[in-house]
Amino acid sequence: MLHANLLHAEAAQCYRRALELDPGNGRWCYYLAVLIQSTGFSDELASLLSQVPGAEPGFLPAQLRLADTHRALGNLEVAEAAYRICVADDSFAPFAYLGLARIAMSRGDMVAAEAALTASLNKLSDHGPAVDLLAVVQSRLGKDEDAAAARNRAESARRGLEPPDPWLDQIYGLCLDPDYLMILADGAVQIQEGIRASHFYQLAIEVAPEDPHPRVEFAKAMITQGQSAKAVPLLKGALALDPSNGEAFVQLAAAFMKQGDLRRATDAARRAVELEPRSAASHNILGAILTVQGHIHEAAESLNAALRLDPDHTAALVTMGNILSQAGQPDDAVAHYLRALSIQPRNDLALVGMGALHFRQNRLDEAEEYYARALRVVPELADAHYDLGVIHASRGNIDLAIEKYREAIRINPDHYPALVNLGAELAELGHLNEAIARFRRAMVVRPGSADLHNNLGFAYAANDQPELAAEHYAKALEIDPEHEQASQNLNELEW
């Protein structure tokens, strides 16, 4: 209980007394070691951790801490042996291989270090410290291109990852401080451990059932993870406790917007502004919703209000940049995007905005650079993959274009432009069955396109299916009687 509530000196005294009364219990050794490790590595720490495996065989969190301690103390052979025990478990292997790499570097063996880091990343591909160290090692090996690739890869890698530790999680389950529980939850969110984050948020709610803040923070995490439907009842619960909670209304507006319920999103955002007129977040979410609705003038007013209150509000800067870009004011749009990137260099939305702006201006090299940077931060950006496909196609790199269109569709199976362009490229290459399938899927996503019916008719004609070809050419002309290409294709159709 003392440990869980940050009374570490008192907790250490209790653990030492517990060890006197129950010297064979590995947990007391481990919990005391965890507290001591927070002040640095020492021989006492190594001694305590070395007692845990005898009492609790196979408890790898202690084994990994023991390895780290011996490495820090310079006992490299002992550390290496402890790391080797951990590599057999996939949850611990990335961290153990990282330790082995550091030992190899301390011995000057860069080849062994590179092999260990590669093994770490084979187990956990976005392990930030391993990617960082790999860039250093490959640079020392003279592999400059590989080192540069590793540095680029580091932009999207995760930091602060830790292996599972069920004993510590049990300790934290005794915490009675909702603020500390939310710190633990936020840390789990940052390293994308959603289940663990949810556990700590739920504990915070249980500890402080009358406080709306844990519910709002939990909901915010749910929205970030794409679970807006689960966020709504949490936010309604927060508002039942505090009907004037402006932040709850901001997050409720965001959740409704994610679900496509723009009417309720607008109502929640306006209520947030009414409750907290000096809140940049309130004005920003209203501006974002109005942008989606096409109310551009009112959206710009809300976003500018947000930026007057907080000139560094990156979300408002990016959305305003998007409005200016669409309005044909590229210089002003660039100023907003670059301002956002000066505050958050890894802001994927600002990077995509810059890419899209350069793309529309046919500055393809610059567009490609910004899209590539965005994808290093967030690899699952369908629009960025699609635009890169268009860039490759414009350069005649059809194989690369097809690869990017496929990636966009993998991320978003209903990505209409990617479906159409992929179908067109496949039809040109003679892969007619797949081209037809892609066109038909696009037709489900967005029916009523004369161009799409014409494309489908062309694919059917090339596939020796003239009746179906004629049907789709006719449908194209029904939608657009002036569609010259469909008319010409129908007249030239060979039966």
| CATH number for the domain that contains residue 480 | 1.25.40.10
Q: Is residue 310 part of a domain?
A: no
Q: What is the pLDDT of residue 39?
A: 86
Name 158's bridge partners. Answer: 127
Distance of CA 101 to the CA centre of its chain: 27
Q: Is residue 309 part of a domain?
A: no
List the structure tokens of 224: 């970030």
How is residue 188 annotated by DSSP? H
Q: Is residue 288 part of a domain?
A: no
Residue 102 contacts residue 120 (beta carbons within 8 Å) = no
List the structure tokens of 242: 């505090």
Residues 6+ apart with CB under 8 A from 110: 104, 137, 140, 141
Region of residue 464 (phi > 0: left; psi between -120 and 50: alpha; otherwise: beta): left
Determine how many CB atoms are found less than 10 A away from the CB of residue 55: 16
Q: What is the pLDDT of residue 299?
A: 96
Domain tally for the chain?
2
List the structure tokens of 57: 């065989």
List the structure tokens of 490: 């129908």
Q: Is residue 53 part of a domain?
A: yes
List the structure tokens of 430: 């003679």
- In whole angstroms, give the CA distance from residue 341 to residue 314: 8
- In whole angstroms, give the CA distance from residue 157 to residue 326: 32
Give the helix ranges, DSSP H, for 276-343. 280-293, 296-309, 314-326, 330-343
Q: Which residue has the tokens 């209304």?
A: 249
Determine how many CB atoms are found less than 10 A away from the CB of residue 23: 11
Q: Is residue 449 part of a domain?
A: yes
Range of the domain at 408: 394-492
Name the phi and psi angles at 292, rounded to 5.
-60, -35
List the structure tokens of 100: 């082995």
Q: Is residue 62 part of a domain?
A: yes
Cα–Cα distances in angstroms (integers) from residue 414 to residues 41, 98, 408, 410, 460, in the given order: 54, 40, 9, 9, 22
* Residue at which a domain ends, from 126, 154, 182: 154
Residue 385 contacts residue 355 (beta carbons within 8 Å) = no
Q: Is residue 262 part of a domain?
A: no
- In whole angstroms, give the CA distance from residue 112 to residue 110: 5
Torsion, Cα of 228, 234, 240, 242 (10° steps)? -90
Residue whose C-alpha is closest to residue 302's, from 323, 331, 333, 326: 323
Q: What is the pLDDT of residue 318?
A: 97
Mark the ranges of the chain whose per-residue pLDDT is less than 50: none
Q: Is residue 215 part of a domain?
A: no
pLDDT, tens digit (0-9, with 9 covering 90-100), for 436-476:
999 999 999 999 899 999 999 999 999 999 999 999 999 99
Q: What pTM does this model have?
A: 0.74
* Residue at which a domain ends, from 154, 181, 210: 154
* Residue at which a domain ends, from 121, 154, 187: 154
